[in-house]
Structure 1
Amino acid sequence: MKRIGFSILAFLVLVGIVLTGCSSSGASGGSASSGGSGSSGKAQEMTFAQTSKVVGLSPTMTNDSVSQNVLNQIYETLFTRDPETMEIKPNLAKSYETPDDKTWVIHLNKGIKFSDGTPLNAEAVKYTFDKLRDPKTGAPRASLLSAVDSITTQDDLTVVIKTKKPYGPMLAALSHGNSAIISPTADKKQDLMKKPVGSGPFMLKEWVPGDHVTLVKNPDYWKGPAKLDKVTFKVVPDVNTEISMLQTGQVDFIENVPSEQWDRVQNLKGIKTTKKAGTAVSYLGFNLRREPMNNLEFRKAISYAIDRDAYVKQLNGLGTKSNSIIGPKIFGYDKSAESLGYDYDPEKAKQIIKENGWDGKQIDLLVANTAAYMQMGQIVQDQLKKVGINAKIRTMEWGTFLDVSKQDKFDMTFLGWSNSTADGSELLYPNLGGDNIGASNVVAFNNKKFNTLVDESRYTVDQDVRKEKLKKANELAIKQAPWVVMDHGVVTGAYKDDIEGIDILPTGDWFLYNVSRK
């Protein structure tokens, strides 16, 4: 039997906004109550502001970063990433073994309970994963466990996962927020999208859809109660309002500061900022179900028409230009990919458009009403107009956009992928793999050779083989251009200077368990 130490996790899986929507009425999480206080005797509270609303509170049924901000505080995964090294380490899991290259034996920590008082045991893990990968569930990130053949319980604290083939990204998949463990008891009697029950340090007190979500600390959390007593996730109209509220003290923490506002935020009195290279990628995607988006020459023309260097320059250091779909912070990145792709050449774009009779072609450009995507939309619309393409921007609210973007209801759209796994296979497979059309593969890219290469990168634990397969798959996708990569992201945050313990990972994830106020 082979035991894998956590000291070599960086070798196993190196250093991860998209899909599904939900609307629901306000709901209570059941047994939540505030209680508790800071060392000063005064309750410690924090308000986080975001311009988009939460679409649901089930890790199984959501897959967007806005909802995930809340879910990260309520639910937990078997494994997690160290915020400094990005190495994967145990969380709910105590340890694991791999007796062969298709078997993962995972031992759980003792005494963990969900906030409804029921035990988090091997049966709960099996229930969660079986539901996630069941086609009847319709989970948007079922692809995380698509390599799994069976899940069994060896005893109350031991889960055995067998894969169809050797699966290299397994630990990365099990550290992803959508693999968080849910309470089987709660899931059978209530809608977790409205009434979440997890094992994390916080639990739901109130959700008023479109306005706010309020969490309070879980007094029975297995690692000990959180320092914060209450956290509110507030929806605000726009970024300017968000920043003004931070300045006046109405909110305490914001993330994803737009580039044009970065200098302003850095100069606010009493505010700290953080910035680091991230794993996220933003892209312009073509709906390959439609003409002429399914024509490579059209995609080349659009790629040639977009001045991405100019776009990234105005991001003021909050994004990096790259031709590679797999970014520099992702396992599988190879610098040689930067020489590929279709760089800015408006004359070549005009030539292709004229030769194919696309001059004056009107395109439906679907854009979510977030600051970053609206900025991309306006810039690209102007650049396409200069080469003879009329892109008509159609905007919609975030939750509605998530629904529409999964369907054949657009020509081109802007999307992002935060890549919470920081693994190239788990970037390419969900977003461009043929198995995931209609779910996370919103552009409907389906290339047999690409699919084979990505599968070969997934179904091996040999990391050198994985890198080579990912290199080839990435190169193929770059040449086929289902995406125009707009930039690879930089994660940012701004918060009141009396807040301690906030650490945003390169994946964009953050956790509030260790956060406190002076």
Structure 2
Amino acid sequence: MKRNWVVLITLLAAIFLAACSSGGTSSEPNNENSNKGASGGEDVLTYASLSDAVGLSPILTNDGASANITDHVYEKLFERNGETMEIEPQLAESYENPDENTWTIKLKQGIKFHDGTPFNAEAVKYTFDKLRDPATAAPRASLMEPVDSITVIDEYTVEIKTKYPYGPFLASLSHSNAAIVSPEADQTQDLMNKPVGTGPFKFVSWVPGDQIVLEANPDYRDGEPALKKVIFKVVPEVSTAISMLQAGEVQFIDKLPTEQLSRIESMKNVAIEKVDGTPQYFLSVNHSKEISKDPEFRKAIASAIDRDAFISKMNGLAVRSDSVIGPKVFGYKESADKAGTPYDLEAAKALVEKNGYGQQTLKLLAANRGTFILMAEVVQAQLTEAGFNVEIETMEWAAYLDTTLAGDYDLTFLSWSNLTGDGSELLYPNFHSDNVGSSNRSQYNNPEFDKLVEASRTTTNQEERLEILNQANELMLEDDAVVIMYHDVVTAALDASFTGLKLEPTGKWNVSEVTRK
């Protein structure tokens, strides 16, 4: 009898457990609805980053992975409005120009850094002085190159004098690398590993090669973000990141690859966002080579490129415009959209045959990432059809940067993100002769063009700057200095249960206003 009771109890327990395990709540993740972040909390958003940050100090870094994080921890005096593309105050309250070389900036009051120390004029002076100090060796010290002196007028007023009138100054101050750091924190700890700013999120932890965690700043002046944590998860392979997005293991990816766009669009749990952007990609001859100094050689190259054929392969992730200064960059005029040399295969063939351009092999250098390979394959085929003899050489990113810097190529593809959204800060670093051997990888050298770019930088009259930049733009197009392949469409894919992502034309994004639906 006792044995029968044991059997009965065992049987009832088995039935109870079976009922529990077969109900409507499963322990298995639902691929379309598992949106709670890596730590399982609904207030957590995990972003898949293709590379780890280099460091977390805006003064000492200049890479996208680092900036994605520092942009949420730190703030700048000014920022560019992603919709209007106008410069607006962020930590600044207002500014005045008593004269062309003086910028008097009033700061917002009552703001504290994450370490509890006050944000004030002394912090601004400290940050900018360190950024421009040669001993710092800041990667973007050039942002402060025009600055002659920085003076604290009172606790919330700073006066900056420039060596010459500098039109893009506010755009420079809106750059990620011009963010204001806590002086006390910078003097007592390593901001590269433990950042301290005034932004909507505070630093929590960093496991190199794995992830960086930020948490909401409860004292943020615009209110505590709805997201309690943001995790930057290192996922080196984009296909893996997409799979993790589909499975709900991450909730956010950006820079969607053209070839996998249809896969992402088919995911029911994902919303895709797109905005026309400031980044651009262009084909350039090596202007230091003797053959490239021949205007008919450059004309033949430009005439042979069918940009529309390439754009059609981009699945809507490219803006077609001949203009060197893109539609989202200050200095652009619509008249430049079709001002470049048009596609004319017969004209290209005639120039190649006339000058014997097909008798030598041209090395077309391309980085082995993103759309560079696709551009190389399309352009090689088009130039070959025109009679050129072109060989593609691909390199990993670091080697490609070194090679283009050294000018060891005949033709190459280059890109520029235009983070300031200002035409002067596009044309000067990329094409002014001052920067041949550094950021001017095209080796372009045109004295008339140089004068126009200098004029665009040394006036604070924005209407004048617009006209001068347009003249410089048109000169480059007449010169066939480069062939613009496309202006970028900035993309992101966000788990559909979240909303409020701010995706900027510069490729930047901000999750401080993201909420769960």
Q: Secondary structure at the match of 2:122?
A: helix
2: CA distance, partners of 1:244 / 1:42: 20
Relative distance call for 1:424 and 1:408 in structure 2 (3 A) is same
Q: Which is further off, 213-222 or 313-322?
A: 213-222
1:176 maps to what in 2?
A: 175
For residues 50-97 of structure 1, the C-alpha deviation after alignment (integer angstroms, 9 at most, x for no partner) is: 434444433334434343222211221101233443332221112222
2: CA distance, partners of 1:375 / 1:97: 48
For residues 290-313 of structure 1, the C-alpha deviation after alignment (integer angstroms, 9 at most, x for no partner) is: 454455443333322322111112
- How far residue 236 of structure 1 moved from its aligned partner, in angstroms, is 2.9
- How far residue 208 of structure 1 moved from its aligned partner, in angstroms, is 4.7
For residues 309-365 of structure 1, the C-alpha deviation after alignment (integer angstroms, 9 at most, x for no partner) is: 111122222212211101122222122323432222334334444444442544444
1:396 maps to what in 2?
A: 396
For residues 208-264 of structure 1, the C-alpha deviation after alignment (integer angstroms, 9 at most, x for no partner) is: 555543333345545443322322223334433332221111221112223333333
Q: Secondary structure at the match of 1:359?
A: helix
1:301 maps to what in 2?
A: 300
Contact 2:283 2:412 in 1 (8 A): yes
Relative distance call for 1:238 and 1:248 in structure 2 (3 A) is same
Contact 1:140 1:439 in 2 (8 A): no
1:159 maps to what in 2?
A: 158
Q: Secondary structure at the match of 1:128?
A: helix
Relative distance call for 1:413 and 1:194 in structure 2 (3 A) is farther
Contact 1:324 1:485 in 2 (8 A): yes
In structure 2, stretches of 5+ residues that fail to align are 1-35
Contact 1:362 1:392 in 2 (8 A): no
Relative distance call for 1:190 and 1:450 in structure 2 (3 A) is farther
2:17 maps to what in 1?
A: none
2: CA distance, partners of 1:68 / 1:291: 39
2:7 maps to what in 1?
A: none
- How far residue 154 of structure 1 moved from its aligned partner, in angstroms, is 1.0
Which amino acid letter does the alignment assign opposite residue 200 of structure 2? P
2: CA distance, partners of 1:438 / 1:511: 34
Contact 1:276 1:490 in 2 (8 A): yes
Relative distance call for 1:272 and 1:166 in structure 2 (3 A) is same
2: CA distance, partners of 1:435 / 1:142: 16
2: CA distance, partners of 1:323 / 1:501: 33
2: CA distance, partners of 1:326 / 1:480: 15
Which amino acid letter does the alignment assign opposite residue 143 of structure 2? L
2:374 maps to what in 1?
A: 375
- How far residue 417 of structure 1 moved from its aligned partner, in angstroms, is 2.1
Determine if the alignment matches structure 1 residue 87 to structure 2 residue 86.
Answer: yes
- How far residue 384 of structure 1 moved from its aligned partner, in angstroms, is 3.2
C-alpha root-mean-square deviation of aligned residues, in Å? 2.9
2: CA distance, partners of 1:74 / 1:178: 12
Contact 2:310 2:378 in 1 (8 A): yes
Q: Secondary structure at the match of 2:412?
A: strand
Q: Which is further off, 120-129 or 483-492?
A: 120-129
Which amino acid letter does the alignment assign opposite residue 328 of structure 1? P
2:311 maps to what in 1?
A: 312
Report the structure, 1 or 2, having the larger helix content: 2
2: CA distance, partners of 1:364 / 1:393: 7
Which amino acid letter does the alignment assign opposite residue 171 of structure 1? L
Relative distance call for 1:140 and 1:376 in structure 2 (3 A) is farther
Relative distance call for 1:478 and 1:221 in structure 2 (3 A) is same
Q: Secondary structure at the match of 1:94?
A: strand
Determine if the alignment matches structure 1 residue 488 to structure 2 residue 502.
Answer: no
- How far residue 269 of structure 1 moved from its aligned partner, in angstroms, is 0.4
1:322 maps to what in 2?
A: 321
Relative distance call for 1:186 and 1:357 in structure 2 (3 A) is farther
Trace 1:9-408 onto structure 2 (pairs within 5 A): 42=41, 44-135=43-134, 137-188=136-187, 192-293=191-292, 295-359=294-358, 361-386=360-385, 387-397=387-397, 401-402=400-401, 405-408=404-407
Aligned length: 479
Q: Secondary structure at the match of 1:422?
A: coil
1: CA distance, partners of 2:284 / 2:465: 26
Q: Secondary structure at the match of 2:371?
A: helix
2: CA distance, partners of 1:319 / 1:252: 25
Relative distance call for 1:407 and 1:155 in structure 2 (3 A) is farther
Contact 1:384 1:391 in 2 (8 A): no
1:477 maps to what in 2?
A: 476
Which amino acid letter does the alignment assign opposite residue 392 of structure 1? I
Contact 1:364 1:412 in 2 (8 A): yes
2:26 maps to what in 1?
A: none
Between 1 and 2, higher relative CO (CA 8 Å, sep ≥ 6) is seen in 1
1: CA distance, partners of 2:207 / 2:412: 29
- Amino-acid identity (%): 51
| Bigger Cα Rg | 2
Relative distance call for 1:275 and 1:296 in structure 2 (3 A) is same
2: CA distance, partners of 1:287 / 1:139: 29
Contact 1:52 1:370 in 2 (8 A): no
Contact 1:143 1:436 in 2 (8 A): no
In structure 1, stretches of 5+ residues that fail to align are 1-36
Q: Which is further off, 314-323 or 216-225?
A: 216-225
- How far residue 185 of structure 1 moved from its aligned partner, in angstroms, is 4.0
- How far residue 472 of structure 1 moved from its aligned partner, in angstroms, is 1.0
- How far residue 105 of structure 1 moved from its aligned partner, in angstroms, is 0.9
1:22 maps to what in 2?
A: none
Contact 2:280 2:415 in 1 (8 A): yes
1:456 maps to what in 2?
A: 455
Q: Which is further off, 142-151 or 156-165?
A: 142-151
Which amino acid letter does the alignment assign opposite residue 432 of structure 2? G
2: CA distance, partners of 1:456 / 1:272: 44
Which amino acid letter does the alignment assign opposite residue 174 of structure 2? S
- How far residue 484 of structure 1 moved from its aligned partner, in angstroms, is 1.7
